[in-house]
Structure 1
Amino acid sequence: MWRVILAFLLGFCLFVKPVTAEETKFPTEAQLQEGEKIAQMALEAAEKGNFVEAERLWTDLIARFPSNPAVWSNRGNTRVSQNKIEAAIEDYNKAIQLAPDAPTPYLNRGVAYEALGKYEEAIADYQRVLQLSPTDAMAYNNLGNANAGLGRWEEALKYYQKATEIAPNLAFASANESLTLYQLGRREEAERKMRSILRKYPMFPDVRAALTALLWEEGKQGEAESNWVATVGVDSRYKDIQWVKEVRKWPPKMVVALENFLNMETK
Protein backbone atom coordinates (compact mmCIF):
# COMPACT_ATOMS: atom_id res chain seq x y z
CA MET A 1 0.00 0.00 0.00
CA TRP A 2 1.12 3.56 -0.56
CA ARG A 3 3.07 4.91 2.38
CA VAL A 4 4.06 8.50 2.97
CA ILE A 5 7.21 9.99 4.49
CA LEU A 6 7.16 13.71 5.12
CA ALA A 7 9.96 16.24 5.21
CA PHE A 8 10.10 17.83 8.66
CA LEU A 9 10.39 21.48 7.64
CA LEU A 10 10.65 23.37 10.90
CA GLY A 11 13.29 25.77 9.67
CA PHE A 12 16.43 26.79 11.45
CA CYS A 13 14.73 29.38 13.61
CA LEU A 14 13.50 26.54 15.85
CA PHE A 15 15.95 25.35 18.46
CA VAL A 16 15.20 23.21 21.46
CA LYS A 17 16.44 24.47 24.79
CA PRO A 18 20.12 23.46 25.09
CA VAL A 19 21.04 20.78 27.56
CA THR A 20 24.72 21.50 28.04
CA ALA A 21 26.69 24.66 28.61
CA GLU A 22 28.40 24.26 25.24
CA GLU A 23 25.01 24.47 23.52
CA THR A 24 23.99 27.77 25.09
CA LYS A 25 25.47 29.74 22.19
CA PHE A 26 22.71 30.29 19.68
CA PRO A 27 23.72 30.38 16.00
CA THR A 28 24.29 33.65 14.26
CA GLU A 29 22.12 34.91 11.42
CA ALA A 30 24.89 33.99 8.98
CA GLN A 31 25.02 30.44 10.37
CA LEU A 32 21.24 30.12 10.07
CA GLN A 33 21.29 31.30 6.46
CA GLU A 34 24.04 28.83 5.64
CA GLY A 35 22.00 26.10 7.32
CA GLU A 36 18.94 26.95 5.24
CA LYS A 37 21.08 26.81 2.10
CA ILE A 38 22.44 23.37 2.96
CA ALA A 39 18.97 22.12 3.87
CA GLN A 40 17.65 23.22 0.48
CA MET A 41 20.53 21.42 -1.21
CA ALA A 42 19.71 18.27 0.78
CA LEU A 43 16.04 18.40 -0.21
CA GLU A 44 16.96 18.92 -3.86
CA ALA A 45 19.39 15.99 -3.76
CA ALA A 46 16.68 13.75 -2.31
CA GLU A 47 14.20 14.96 -4.93
CA LYS A 48 16.68 13.84 -7.62
CA GLY A 49 17.10 10.44 -5.94
CA ASN A 50 20.63 11.18 -4.73
CA PHE A 51 19.99 9.95 -1.20
CA VAL A 52 23.66 9.38 -0.37
CA GLU A 53 24.41 13.05 -0.97
CA ALA A 54 21.23 14.10 0.86
CA GLU A 55 22.25 12.02 3.88
CA ARG A 56 25.72 13.59 3.84
CA LEU A 57 24.23 17.08 3.85
CA TRP A 58 21.80 16.31 6.68
CA THR A 59 24.70 14.81 8.66
CA ASP A 60 26.59 18.06 8.15
CA LEU A 61 23.58 19.98 9.48
CA ILE A 62 23.31 17.68 12.50
CA ALA A 63 26.91 18.54 13.37
CA ARG A 64 26.09 22.24 13.06
CA PHE A 65 22.63 22.22 14.67
CA PRO A 66 22.33 19.12 16.89
CA SER A 67 19.33 20.49 18.79
CA ASN A 68 17.16 20.96 15.69
CA PRO A 69 14.76 17.99 15.40
CA ALA A 70 14.10 18.66 11.71
CA VAL A 71 17.60 17.74 10.62
CA TRP A 72 17.44 14.42 12.48
CA SER A 73 14.04 13.53 11.03
CA ASN A 74 15.03 14.45 7.50
CA ARG A 75 18.23 12.42 7.69
CA GLY A 76 16.04 9.55 8.81
CA ASN A 77 13.99 9.98 5.64
CA THR A 78 17.06 9.69 3.43
CA ARG A 79 18.11 6.57 5.32
CA VAL A 80 14.71 4.94 4.81
CA SER A 81 15.11 5.64 1.10
CA GLN A 82 18.39 3.70 1.21
CA ASN A 83 16.81 0.87 3.23
CA LYS A 84 18.87 1.81 6.30
CA ILE A 85 15.80 1.26 8.42
CA GLU A 86 17.31 0.75 11.87
CA ALA A 87 19.54 3.80 11.46
CA ALA A 88 16.54 5.82 10.33
CA ILE A 89 14.59 4.82 13.43
CA GLU A 90 17.47 6.05 15.58
CA ASP A 91 17.24 9.43 13.85
CA TYR A 92 13.47 9.60 14.34
CA ASN A 93 13.92 8.68 18.01
CA LYS A 94 16.27 11.64 18.41
CA ALA A 95 13.85 13.98 16.63
CA ILE A 96 11.03 12.81 18.90
CA GLN A 97 13.22 13.30 21.97
CA LEU A 98 13.87 16.89 20.88
CA ALA A 99 10.30 17.65 19.78
CA PRO A 100 7.89 15.20 21.44
CA ASP A 101 4.81 17.12 20.32
CA ALA A 102 5.71 17.31 16.62
CA PRO A 103 3.67 14.75 14.63
CA THR A 104 5.91 14.29 11.58
CA PRO A 105 8.70 12.20 13.17
CA TYR A 106 6.09 9.80 14.57
CA LEU A 107 4.54 9.44 11.11
CA ASN A 108 7.93 8.78 9.55
CA ARG A 109 9.01 6.35 12.27
CA GLY A 110 5.77 4.47 11.72
CA VAL A 111 6.68 4.01 8.06
CA ALA A 112 10.09 2.68 9.12
CA TYR A 113 8.49 0.25 11.56
CA GLU A 114 6.23 -0.98 8.77
CA ALA A 115 9.28 -1.65 6.62
CA LEU A 116 10.50 -3.97 9.38
CA GLY A 117 7.11 -5.66 9.67
CA LYS A 118 6.59 -4.11 13.11
CA TYR A 119 2.99 -3.20 12.44
CA GLU A 120 1.83 -2.79 16.03
CA GLU A 121 4.64 -0.31 16.70
CA ALA A 122 3.69 1.52 13.52
CA ILE A 123 0.05 1.67 14.61
CA ALA A 124 1.09 3.16 17.95
CA ASP A 125 3.05 5.88 16.15
CA TYR A 126 0.20 6.72 13.78
CA GLN A 127 -2.22 6.90 16.68
CA ARG A 128 0.17 9.30 18.39
CA VAL A 129 0.13 11.45 15.24
CA LEU A 130 -3.66 11.61 15.46
CA GLN A 131 -3.50 12.59 19.12
CA LEU A 132 -1.35 15.54 18.06
CA SER A 133 -3.10 16.25 14.75
CA PRO A 134 -6.58 14.67 14.67
CA THR A 135 -7.27 15.47 11.01
CA ASP A 136 -4.01 14.12 9.58
CA ALA A 137 -5.21 12.21 6.52
CA MET A 138 -1.80 10.64 5.91
CA ALA A 139 -1.82 9.12 9.39
CA TYR A 140 -5.19 7.55 8.64
CA ASN A 141 -3.89 6.22 5.33
CA ASN A 142 -0.85 4.73 7.01
CA LEU A 143 -3.01 3.23 9.77
CA GLY A 144 -4.84 1.49 6.95
CA ASN A 145 -1.52 0.19 5.63
CA ALA A 146 -0.40 -1.16 9.00
CA ASN A 147 -3.72 -2.90 9.59
CA ALA A 148 -3.56 -4.34 6.08
CA GLY A 149 -0.12 -5.69 6.95
CA LEU A 150 -1.75 -7.56 9.81
CA GLY A 151 -4.55 -8.84 7.58
CA ARG A 152 -7.15 -6.67 9.28
CA TRP A 153 -8.86 -5.67 6.05
CA GLU A 154 -12.07 -4.27 7.51
CA GLU A 155 -10.05 -2.04 9.83
CA ALA A 156 -7.81 -1.00 6.96
CA LEU A 157 -10.82 -0.04 4.85
CA LYS A 158 -12.21 2.09 7.64
CA TYR A 159 -8.97 4.06 7.91
CA TYR A 160 -8.61 4.54 4.15
CA GLN A 161 -12.16 5.84 3.98
CA LYS A 162 -11.45 8.25 6.82
CA ALA A 163 -8.35 9.49 4.99
CA THR A 164 -10.33 10.17 1.82
CA GLU A 165 -13.12 11.80 3.81
CA ILE A 166 -10.63 14.27 5.29
CA ALA A 167 -8.65 14.74 2.08
CA PRO A 168 -10.70 13.82 -1.02
CA ASN A 169 -7.73 14.59 -3.28
CA LEU A 170 -5.42 12.13 -1.51
CA ALA A 171 -5.31 9.84 -4.53
CA PHE A 172 -3.16 7.09 -3.06
CA ALA A 173 -5.58 6.68 -0.12
CA SER A 174 -8.42 6.29 -2.62
CA ALA A 175 -6.34 3.71 -4.50
CA ASN A 176 -5.69 1.79 -1.30
CA GLU A 177 -9.42 1.89 -0.54
CA SER A 178 -10.30 0.42 -3.93
CA LEU A 179 -7.77 -2.41 -3.58
CA THR A 180 -9.06 -3.22 -0.12
CA LEU A 181 -12.64 -3.35 -1.37
CA TYR A 182 -11.50 -5.94 -3.89
CA GLN A 183 -9.71 -7.90 -1.17
CA LEU A 184 -12.96 -7.98 0.82
CA GLY A 185 -14.87 -9.38 -2.15
CA ARG A 186 -16.72 -6.14 -2.85
CA ARG A 187 -15.80 -6.20 -6.53
CA GLU A 188 -18.51 -3.91 -7.88
CA GLU A 189 -17.66 -1.23 -5.32
CA ALA A 190 -13.97 -1.67 -6.09
CA GLU A 191 -14.58 -1.23 -9.81
CA ARG A 192 -16.72 1.87 -9.29
CA LYS A 193 -14.04 3.36 -7.06
CA MET A 194 -11.28 2.61 -9.57
CA ARG A 195 -13.21 4.16 -12.43
CA SER A 196 -13.99 7.21 -10.32
CA ILE A 197 -10.30 7.68 -9.51
CA LEU A 198 -9.30 7.33 -13.15
CA ARG A 199 -11.81 9.93 -14.26
CA LYS A 200 -9.98 12.35 -12.01
CA TYR A 201 -6.45 10.98 -12.47
CA PRO A 202 -6.38 9.22 -15.87
CA MET A 203 -2.62 8.60 -15.74
CA PHE A 204 -2.63 6.86 -12.34
CA PRO A 205 -0.85 3.57 -13.19
CA ASP A 206 -1.60 1.78 -9.93
CA VAL A 207 -5.33 2.02 -10.43
CA ARG A 208 -5.11 1.25 -14.15
CA ALA A 209 -3.15 -1.91 -13.34
CA ALA A 210 -5.73 -2.94 -10.75
CA LEU A 211 -8.61 -2.23 -13.12
CA THR A 212 -6.80 -4.27 -15.78
CA ALA A 213 -6.75 -7.30 -13.50
CA LEU A 214 -10.36 -6.85 -12.43
CA LEU A 215 -11.63 -6.46 -16.01
CA TRP A 216 -9.65 -9.47 -17.17
CA GLU A 217 -11.35 -11.59 -14.54
CA GLU A 218 -14.71 -10.33 -15.81
CA GLY A 219 -13.84 -11.47 -19.32
CA LYS A 220 -13.54 -7.93 -20.68
CA GLN A 221 -10.31 -8.63 -22.53
CA GLY A 222 -10.28 -5.63 -24.84
CA GLU A 223 -10.84 -3.07 -22.11
CA ALA A 224 -8.38 -4.86 -19.84
CA GLU A 225 -5.64 -4.80 -22.47
CA SER A 226 -6.31 -1.14 -23.24
CA ASN A 227 -5.87 -0.27 -19.57
CA TRP A 228 -2.71 -2.37 -19.43
CA VAL A 229 -1.12 -0.50 -22.33
CA ALA A 230 -1.84 2.75 -20.48
CA THR A 231 -0.37 1.30 -17.27
CA VAL A 232 2.99 0.17 -18.61
CA GLY A 233 3.28 3.30 -20.70
CA VAL A 234 3.56 5.20 -17.43
CA ASP A 235 5.15 2.65 -15.09
CA SER A 236 6.56 -0.66 -16.34
CA ARG A 237 7.19 -1.97 -12.82
CA TYR A 238 3.70 -3.44 -12.79
CA LYS A 239 5.01 -6.14 -15.13
CA ASP A 240 7.01 -7.45 -12.15
CA ILE A 241 4.60 -9.30 -9.89
CA GLN A 242 7.21 -9.55 -7.13
CA TRP A 243 7.49 -5.76 -7.06
CA VAL A 244 3.71 -5.45 -6.89
CA LYS A 245 3.59 -7.95 -4.04
CA GLU A 246 6.64 -7.03 -1.98
CA VAL A 247 7.27 -3.33 -2.67
CA ARG A 248 3.91 -1.89 -3.66
CA LYS A 249 2.28 -4.42 -1.28
CA TRP A 250 -1.02 -4.97 -3.00
CA PRO A 251 -3.57 -7.09 -1.12
CA PRO A 252 -3.19 -10.85 -1.83
CA LYS A 253 -6.33 -11.28 -3.94
CA MET A 254 -5.43 -8.31 -6.11
CA VAL A 255 -1.93 -9.73 -6.61
CA VAL A 256 -3.40 -13.05 -7.74
CA ALA A 257 -5.74 -11.29 -10.17
CA LEU A 258 -2.88 -9.36 -11.78
CA GLU A 259 -0.68 -12.45 -11.85
CA ASN A 260 -3.42 -14.34 -13.71
CA PHE A 261 -3.53 -11.55 -16.28
CA LEU A 262 0.26 -11.47 -16.67
CA ASN A 263 0.39 -15.24 -17.10
CA MET A 264 -2.19 -15.08 -19.88
CA GLU A 265 -0.31 -12.22 -21.52
CA THR A 266 2.88 -14.29 -21.76
CA LYS A 267 1.18 -17.31 -23.36
Structure 2
Amino acid sequence: MLATLLAVLLAAQMSVPQLFDAALSASRDGRFGEALPLWDQVVEQLPGDASVWSNRGNVRLAMGDPQGAISDQNRAIALEPGSADPYLNRGIAEESLQQWDLAAADYEAILQNDPADAAALYNLGNVRGSQGHWDQARRCFEAADLARPGFAMARSSAALAAFQQGDGAAAERELRLLIRRYPLFADARAGLTAVLWQRGASGEAESNWAAASGLDPRYRQPEWLLQIRRWPPLPVHALQDFLQLARR
Protein backbone atom coordinates (compact mmCIF):
# COMPACT_ATOMS: atom_id res chain seq x y z
CA MET A 1 0.00 0.00 0.00
CA LEU A 2 2.83 2.40 0.89
CA ALA A 3 4.63 1.54 -2.36
CA THR A 4 1.46 2.36 -4.32
CA LEU A 5 1.06 5.71 -2.54
CA LEU A 6 4.69 6.61 -3.20
CA ALA A 7 4.25 5.69 -6.87
CA VAL A 8 1.25 8.01 -7.15
CA LEU A 9 3.08 10.89 -5.46
CA LEU A 10 6.14 10.46 -7.65
CA ALA A 11 4.02 10.17 -10.79
CA ALA A 12 2.51 13.59 -10.15
CA GLN A 13 5.95 15.10 -10.70
CA MET A 14 6.79 13.22 -13.91
CA SER A 15 6.42 14.04 -17.57
CA VAL A 16 4.50 11.56 -19.74
CA PRO A 17 7.67 9.92 -21.14
CA GLN A 18 9.00 9.59 -17.59
CA LEU A 19 5.71 8.08 -16.46
CA PHE A 20 5.83 5.56 -19.30
CA ASP A 21 9.42 4.59 -18.54
CA ALA A 22 8.71 4.27 -14.80
CA ALA A 23 5.62 2.13 -15.43
CA LEU A 24 7.50 -0.10 -17.84
CA SER A 25 10.43 -0.49 -15.45
CA ALA A 26 8.15 -1.42 -12.54
CA SER A 27 6.30 -3.92 -14.74
CA ARG A 28 9.50 -5.58 -15.91
CA ASP A 29 10.78 -5.82 -12.33
CA GLY A 30 7.55 -7.45 -11.15
CA ARG A 31 6.59 -4.48 -8.96
CA PHE A 32 3.02 -4.64 -10.15
CA GLY A 33 1.51 -2.74 -7.22
CA GLU A 34 3.67 0.22 -8.21
CA ALA A 35 3.20 -0.28 -11.93
CA LEU A 36 -0.60 -0.23 -12.02
CA PRO A 37 -1.19 3.34 -10.77
CA LEU A 38 1.56 4.53 -13.09
CA TRP A 39 -0.13 2.87 -16.06
CA ASP A 40 -3.44 4.36 -14.93
CA GLN A 41 -1.93 7.81 -15.29
CA VAL A 42 -0.30 7.02 -18.61
CA VAL A 43 -3.67 5.79 -19.91
CA GLU A 44 -5.21 9.11 -18.90
CA GLN A 45 -2.50 10.99 -20.77
CA LEU A 46 -2.28 8.71 -23.83
CA PRO A 47 -5.71 7.12 -24.31
CA GLY A 48 -5.07 6.55 -28.01
CA ASP A 49 -1.87 4.53 -27.54
CA ALA A 50 -2.55 0.80 -27.94
CA SER A 51 0.70 -0.25 -26.27
CA VAL A 52 -0.27 1.61 -23.08
CA TRP A 53 -3.56 -0.28 -22.79
CA SER A 54 -1.86 -3.59 -23.55
CA ASN A 55 0.86 -3.01 -20.97
CA ARG A 56 -1.68 -2.11 -18.32
CA GLY A 57 -3.66 -5.21 -19.22
CA ASN A 58 -0.60 -7.37 -18.60
CA VAL A 59 -0.17 -5.83 -15.15
CA ARG A 60 -3.85 -6.34 -14.34
CA LEU A 61 -3.51 -10.01 -15.27
CA ALA A 62 -0.41 -10.37 -13.12
CA MET A 63 -2.40 -8.91 -10.22
CA GLY A 64 -5.18 -11.47 -10.61
CA ASP A 65 -7.67 -9.48 -12.70
CA PRO A 66 -8.07 -11.41 -15.98
CA GLN A 67 -11.36 -9.72 -16.88
CA GLY A 68 -9.76 -6.31 -16.45
CA ALA A 69 -6.83 -7.50 -18.53
CA ILE A 70 -9.14 -8.64 -21.33
CA SER A 71 -10.93 -5.28 -21.25
CA ASP A 72 -7.61 -3.45 -21.69
CA GLN A 73 -6.49 -5.75 -24.48
CA ASN A 74 -9.83 -5.18 -26.22
CA ARG A 75 -9.11 -1.45 -26.20
CA ALA A 76 -5.62 -2.05 -27.55
CA ILE A 77 -6.97 -4.23 -30.38
CA ALA A 78 -9.61 -1.64 -31.27
CA LEU A 79 -6.88 1.01 -31.52
CA GLU A 80 -4.36 -1.15 -33.39
CA PRO A 81 -6.01 -4.24 -34.90
CA GLY A 82 -2.91 -5.17 -36.89
CA SER A 83 -0.67 -5.59 -33.83
CA ALA A 84 -0.03 -9.14 -32.62
CA ASP A 85 0.81 -8.35 -28.98
CA PRO A 86 -2.69 -7.49 -27.72
CA TYR A 87 -4.09 -10.68 -29.28
CA LEU A 88 -1.35 -12.72 -27.64
CA ASN A 89 -1.88 -11.01 -24.30
CA ARG A 90 -5.66 -11.38 -24.48
CA GLY A 91 -5.24 -15.06 -25.30
CA ILE A 92 -3.11 -15.55 -22.19
CA ALA A 93 -5.78 -13.86 -20.05
CA GLU A 94 -8.47 -16.04 -21.65
CA GLU A 95 -6.39 -19.14 -20.92
CA SER A 96 -6.28 -18.16 -17.25
CA LEU A 97 -10.10 -18.33 -17.32
CA GLN A 98 -10.00 -21.62 -19.27
CA GLN A 99 -11.72 -19.94 -22.20
CA TRP A 100 -9.93 -22.26 -24.59
CA ASP A 101 -11.88 -21.48 -27.77
CA LEU A 102 -11.48 -17.73 -27.34
CA ALA A 103 -7.76 -18.08 -26.64
CA ALA A 104 -7.29 -20.35 -29.65
CA ALA A 105 -9.10 -17.83 -31.86
CA ASP A 106 -6.73 -15.07 -30.74
CA TYR A 107 -3.62 -17.15 -31.43
CA GLU A 108 -4.99 -18.25 -34.78
CA ALA A 109 -5.66 -14.60 -35.68
CA ILE A 110 -1.95 -13.91 -35.15
CA LEU A 111 -0.96 -16.95 -37.21
CA GLN A 112 -3.13 -15.86 -40.12
CA ASN A 113 -0.84 -12.86 -40.51
CA ASP A 114 2.38 -14.59 -39.44
CA PRO A 115 2.31 -18.41 -39.58
CA ALA A 116 5.79 -18.50 -38.02
CA ASP A 117 4.97 -16.57 -34.85
CA ALA A 118 6.62 -18.87 -32.30
CA ALA A 119 4.81 -17.50 -29.24
CA ALA A 120 1.38 -17.90 -30.82
CA LEU A 121 2.25 -21.43 -32.00
CA TYR A 122 3.47 -22.43 -28.56
CA ASN A 123 0.47 -20.96 -26.76
CA LEU A 124 -1.90 -22.58 -29.25
CA GLY A 125 -0.17 -25.89 -28.47
CA ASN A 126 -0.93 -25.39 -24.79
CA VAL A 127 -4.57 -24.66 -25.59
CA ARG A 128 -4.92 -27.74 -27.79
CA GLY A 129 -3.34 -29.83 -25.05
CA SER A 130 -5.75 -28.42 -22.48
CA GLN A 131 -8.57 -29.46 -24.83
CA GLY A 132 -7.11 -32.97 -24.99
CA HIS A 133 -5.96 -32.68 -28.62
CA TRP A 134 -2.40 -33.84 -28.09
CA ASP A 135 -1.75 -34.58 -31.76
CA GLN A 136 -2.49 -30.95 -32.61
CA ALA A 137 -0.55 -29.75 -29.59
CA ARG A 138 2.50 -31.72 -30.66
CA ARG A 139 2.38 -30.22 -34.16
CA CYS A 140 2.11 -26.72 -32.73
CA PHE A 141 5.06 -27.23 -30.40
CA GLU A 142 7.18 -28.65 -33.21
CA ALA A 143 6.25 -25.70 -35.43
CA ALA A 144 7.16 -23.27 -32.65
CA ASP A 145 10.58 -24.90 -32.36
CA LEU A 146 11.12 -24.59 -36.10
CA ALA A 147 10.01 -20.97 -36.06
CA ARG A 148 12.39 -20.07 -33.22
CA PRO A 149 15.52 -22.23 -33.17
CA GLY A 150 16.63 -22.86 -29.61
CA PHE A 151 13.09 -22.72 -28.19
CA ALA A 152 13.87 -25.43 -25.66
CA MET A 153 10.51 -25.37 -23.87
CA ALA A 154 8.70 -25.94 -27.17
CA ARG A 155 10.90 -28.98 -27.90
CA SER A 156 10.34 -30.35 -24.41
CA SER A 157 6.58 -29.82 -24.73
CA ALA A 158 6.57 -31.62 -28.08
CA ALA A 159 8.40 -34.55 -26.51
CA LEU A 160 5.93 -34.71 -23.62
CA ALA A 161 3.02 -34.60 -26.08
CA ALA A 162 4.64 -37.52 -27.92
CA PHE A 163 4.80 -39.43 -24.63
CA GLN A 164 1.12 -38.67 -24.04
CA GLN A 165 0.37 -40.15 -27.48
CA GLY A 166 2.21 -43.36 -26.60
CA ASP A 167 5.36 -42.53 -28.59
CA GLY A 168 7.76 -42.99 -25.69
CA ALA A 169 10.75 -43.71 -27.94
CA ALA A 170 10.44 -40.35 -29.72
CA ALA A 171 9.94 -38.57 -26.39
CA GLU A 172 13.02 -40.17 -24.87
CA ARG A 173 15.15 -39.43 -27.93
CA GLU A 174 14.16 -35.77 -28.00
CA LEU A 175 14.58 -35.24 -24.25
CA ARG A 176 18.04 -36.81 -24.33
CA LEU A 177 19.03 -34.45 -27.15
CA LEU A 178 17.76 -31.50 -25.15
CA ILE A 179 19.69 -32.53 -22.05
CA ARG A 180 22.85 -32.99 -24.08
CA ARG A 181 22.50 -29.42 -25.30
CA TYR A 182 21.10 -27.92 -22.08
CA PRO A 183 22.33 -30.03 -19.13
CA LEU A 184 20.68 -27.74 -16.58
CA PHE A 185 17.24 -27.73 -18.24
CA ALA A 186 14.97 -28.97 -15.44
CA ASP A 187 11.92 -29.58 -17.64
CA ALA A 188 13.75 -32.04 -19.88
CA ARG A 189 15.36 -33.78 -16.88
CA ALA A 190 12.00 -34.19 -15.15
CA GLY A 191 10.34 -35.31 -18.38
CA LEU A 192 13.04 -37.89 -19.02
CA THR A 193 12.59 -39.14 -15.45
CA ALA A 194 8.92 -39.85 -16.21
CA VAL A 195 9.71 -41.54 -19.54
CA LEU A 196 12.45 -43.72 -18.07
CA TRP A 197 10.34 -44.71 -15.08
CA GLN A 198 7.48 -45.67 -17.37
CA ARG A 199 9.69 -48.08 -19.29
CA GLY A 200 11.33 -49.53 -16.18
CA ALA A 201 14.73 -47.82 -16.23
CA SER A 202 14.52 -46.88 -12.55
CA GLY A 203 18.22 -46.28 -11.94
CA GLU A 204 18.62 -43.76 -14.71
CA ALA A 205 15.29 -42.20 -13.76
CA GLU A 206 16.61 -41.57 -10.25
CA SER A 207 19.77 -39.99 -11.64
CA ASN A 208 17.84 -37.56 -13.81
CA TRP A 209 15.42 -36.75 -11.01
CA ALA A 210 18.29 -35.86 -8.68
CA ALA A 211 19.34 -33.21 -11.19
CA ALA A 212 15.80 -31.99 -11.96
CA SER A 213 14.67 -31.62 -8.35
CA GLY A 214 17.81 -29.69 -7.47
CA LEU A 215 17.24 -27.31 -10.37
CA ASP A 216 13.54 -26.63 -9.77
CA PRO A 217 11.57 -28.11 -6.84
CA ARG A 218 8.22 -27.20 -8.44
CA TYR A 219 8.37 -30.41 -10.49
CA ARG A 220 7.32 -32.24 -7.32
CA GLN A 221 3.92 -30.53 -7.49
CA PRO A 222 1.36 -32.22 -9.80
CA GLU A 223 -0.98 -29.21 -9.67
CA TRP A 224 1.79 -26.91 -10.87
CA LEU A 225 2.75 -29.35 -13.63
CA LEU A 226 -0.81 -29.67 -14.91
CA GLN A 227 -2.12 -26.15 -14.46
CA ILE A 228 0.90 -23.86 -14.76
CA ARG A 229 3.57 -25.72 -16.70
CA ARG A 230 0.80 -27.54 -18.62
CA TRP A 231 2.32 -31.01 -18.87
CA PRO A 232 0.11 -33.74 -20.34
CA PRO A 233 -1.50 -36.04 -17.74
CA LEU A 234 0.44 -39.22 -18.63
CA PRO A 235 3.92 -37.89 -17.82
CA VAL A 236 2.54 -36.20 -14.70
CA HIS A 237 1.13 -39.52 -13.49
CA ALA A 238 4.35 -41.34 -14.35
CA LEU A 239 6.42 -38.81 -12.44
CA GLN A 240 4.10 -39.00 -9.43
CA ASP A 241 4.33 -42.81 -9.46
CA PHE A 242 8.10 -42.48 -9.47
CA LEU A 243 8.05 -40.02 -6.57
CA GLN A 244 5.70 -42.12 -4.47
CA LEU A 245 7.89 -45.21 -4.82
CA ALA A 246 11.09 -43.23 -4.39
CA ARG A 247 9.86 -41.97 -1.00
CA ARG A 248 9.34 -45.52 0.35
Under a length normalisation based on structure 2, what TM-score does the superposition of the two structures give? 0.89
Displacement of 1:257 after TM fit? Answer: 0.7
1:213-257 alpha-carbon deviations (Å, 9 max, x no partner): 212223323322222122122211111122112222210111101
Residue 104 of structure 2 is matched in structure 1 by 123
Q: Does 1:183 align with 2:164?
A: yes
Task: Give the one of 122, 141, 153 matched to 1:172.
Answer: 153
Residue 75 of structure 1 is matched in structure 2 by 56
Residue 257 to residue 131, structure 1, CA distance change in 2 (3 Å): same
Residue 3 of structure 2 is matched in structure 1 by none
Q: Secondary structure at the match of 1:247?
A: helix
Task: Give the one of 196, 221, 225 matched to 2:202.
Answer: 221
Task: Give the one of 93, 105, 109 matched to 1:112.
Answer: 93
More helix, by proportion? 2
Displacement of 1:65 after TM fit? Answer: 0.9
Separation of aligned partners in 2, 1:90 and 1:237: 32
Gaps of 5+ in 1: 1-32
Gaps of 5+ in 2: 1-13
Displacement of 1:67 after TM fit? Answer: 0.8
Partner AA of 2:157 in structure 1? N
The two structures, once aligned, show a CA RMSD in angstroms of 1.6
Displacement of 1:131 after TM fit? Answer: 2.1
Separation of aligned partners in 2, 1:44 and 1:203: 29
Residue 191 of structure 2 is matched in structure 1 by 210
Residue 142 of structure 1 is matched in structure 2 by 123
Displacement of 1:262 after TM fit? Answer: 1.4
Residue 46 of structure 1 is matched in structure 2 by 27
Give the length in aligned residue pairs: 235
Task: Give the one of 111, 120, 144 matched to 1:163.
Answer: 144
Q: Secondary structure at the match of 2:116?
A: coil
Give the share of equivalent positions with the same residue, in percent: 42
Q: Does 1:101 align with 2:82?
A: yes
Partner AA of 2:76 in structure 1? A
Separation of aligned partners in 2, 1:40 and 1:182: 45
Separation of aligned partners in 1, 2:21 and 2:151: 26
Displacement of 1:163 after TM fit? Answer: 1.1
